[in-house]
Chains A and B, each alone.
Chain A
Amino acid sequence: MEAATTGEIALPSVVDLFAGFFIVGVYGFGGVLPWARRMIVEQRKWLTPVEFTDMLGLCSFLPGGNIMNVTIALGARFRGIPGAAACFLGLMTAPVAIVILLGIVYDRYAYVPSVRQAFVALSAAAAAFVLATAWKIAWPLRGKPLAIGVAACTFVAIAVLRLPLMAAMPVLTISSTLLLSRFRK
């Protein structure tokens, strides 16, 4: 039934699903999304571009890592729970193993001055990377004073007042949704 909507290809097996996402996990330096799309849409043709965009829309809307959610939604669609597990483990196995290795190596050599200094600079650059991300996603807000106000309130609540996210997130999300939908029309 699902296969008809995704072209003439056979339903991917659990092994295919694991293998496809395993490669995405290995290649996914500096963001997995482009690699995931390449594998799912262009190489293996598991989804059409429109289906992929739709699925990504759902997975960005729900909480959790976008691509982690994609592994669950895509795996579940083709092979139910085993499929979801295969995709998720496929994506995560290599990166988690690599990051554990890096962590162990880092702990062992952190006392070496040049390693320590490299990490001081790398940490600063990584902070700048988050700043650049914030800048880019905030850009579309210009000219929308209400949304800017909500973003500013969130910033103050979390970065300045250091409120727990558990308390702040529902309040901010609900007020933002009500405020923006009231004044949008």
Chain B
Amino acid sequence: MSTLSQLAAVYAQLSLMAFGGANALIPEMQRQVVDVHHWMNAQAFAALYALAQAAPGPNMMIVSVIGLRVGGISGALVTTGAVAAPSSVLTFFVSGVWDRFKNASWRKALQAGLQPVTIGLISASAALLIESTAVDWRTAFVIVVTAALFIFTKLHPLLILGAAAIAGAIGLVG
């Protein structure tokens, strides 16, 4: 199987499991990209995640950057298309009949059931990213300080990310 078709297969599968957006998919993406296909190591994966945060657009951009790294520009287009296609087809058909089961009790039960699973997945994403980015006490310190800023202040997230990048560039962190 060529790399491009492997990328397409991996991301098309992820599409229908993407409850909670790209952040909930990080662990599975990392498992596939790092452990199963050995396309990069966990540090490179975390750096690409950071790169995706620096771009505008939906948080699915991590998918495009991984495609770019693994398969060049065609790789980026393949992963972005593959992660979007199955869920888009589903949305296309369901949105036409949504009113019929908007208030169905099974739908509310399923939504309530999905919520803690999504929370668990996003917590797992955080844990895996921290595991590969907290390489010494200084990076651990950056994580603690920026996490506190993200949670307890109303500062724009990009401001905090930018400040961290600048602190790194002038040699305070690395």
B169-A114 in contact (CB<8A): yes
A121-B167 in contact (CB<8A): yes
Q: What is the predominant secondary structure among interface residues of chain B facing chain A?
A: helix
B147-A126 in contact (CB<8A): no
Interface assignment of A99: CB less than 8 Å from any CB of chain B: yes
Interface assignment of B40: CB less than 8 Å from any CB of chain A: no
B50-A64 in contact (CB<8A): no
| CA of A88 to CA of B58, assembled, Å | 11
A sample of 6 inter-chain contacts (CB < 8 A) reads: A25-B57, A76-B96, A127-B126, A128-B146, A141-B119, A154-B120
B residues in contact with A102, CB < 8 Å? 51, 54-55, 65
Interface size on B, residues (CB 8 A): 106
Interface assignment of B151: CB less than 8 Å from any CB of chain A: yes
Chain A residues within 8 Å of B, Cβ to Cβ = 25-32, 54-55, 57-59, 61-69, 72-73, 76-77, 81, 84, 88, 91-92, 94-96, 98-100, 102-104, 106-107, 113-138, 141, 147-148, 150-155, 157-159, 162, 164-166, 169, 172-174, 176-181, 184
Contact for B150 among A25, A68, A132, A153, CB less than 8 A: A132
| CA of A151 to CA of B168, assembled, Å | 34
Contact for A176 among B18, B116, B150, CB less than 8 A: B116
| CA of A38 to CA of B23, assembled, Å | 23
Given A121-B167, A122-B50, A181-B113, A103:B94 Cβ within 8 A: no
Interface centre among A107, A117, A119, A162 (most CB of B within 10 A): A119
Chain B residues within 8 Å of A, Cβ to Cβ = 13-19, 21-23, 25-28, 31, 35, 43, 46-61, 64-65, 68-69, 73, 76-77, 80, 83-84, 86-88, 90-92, 94-96, 98, 102, 107, 109-130, 132-135, 139-140, 142-144, 146-147, 150-151, 156-158, 160-161, 164-174
Given A131-B130, A173-B117, A63:B87 Cβ within 8 A: yes
Interface centre among B47, B124, B132, B160 (most CB of A within 10 A): B124
B residues in contact with A124, CB < 8 Å? 133-134, 139-140, 142-143, 146, 164, 173
CB distance from A44 to the nearest CB of B (A): 19
CB distance from B68 to the nearest CB of A (A): 4
Interface centre among B53, B170, B171 (most CB of A within 10 A): B53
Contact for A128 among B13, B47, B127, B142, CB less than 8 A: B142
Contact for A100 among B73, B146, B160, CB less than 8 A: B73
B53-A126 in contact (CB<8A): yes
Contact for B164 among A121, A151, A153, CB less than 8 A: A121
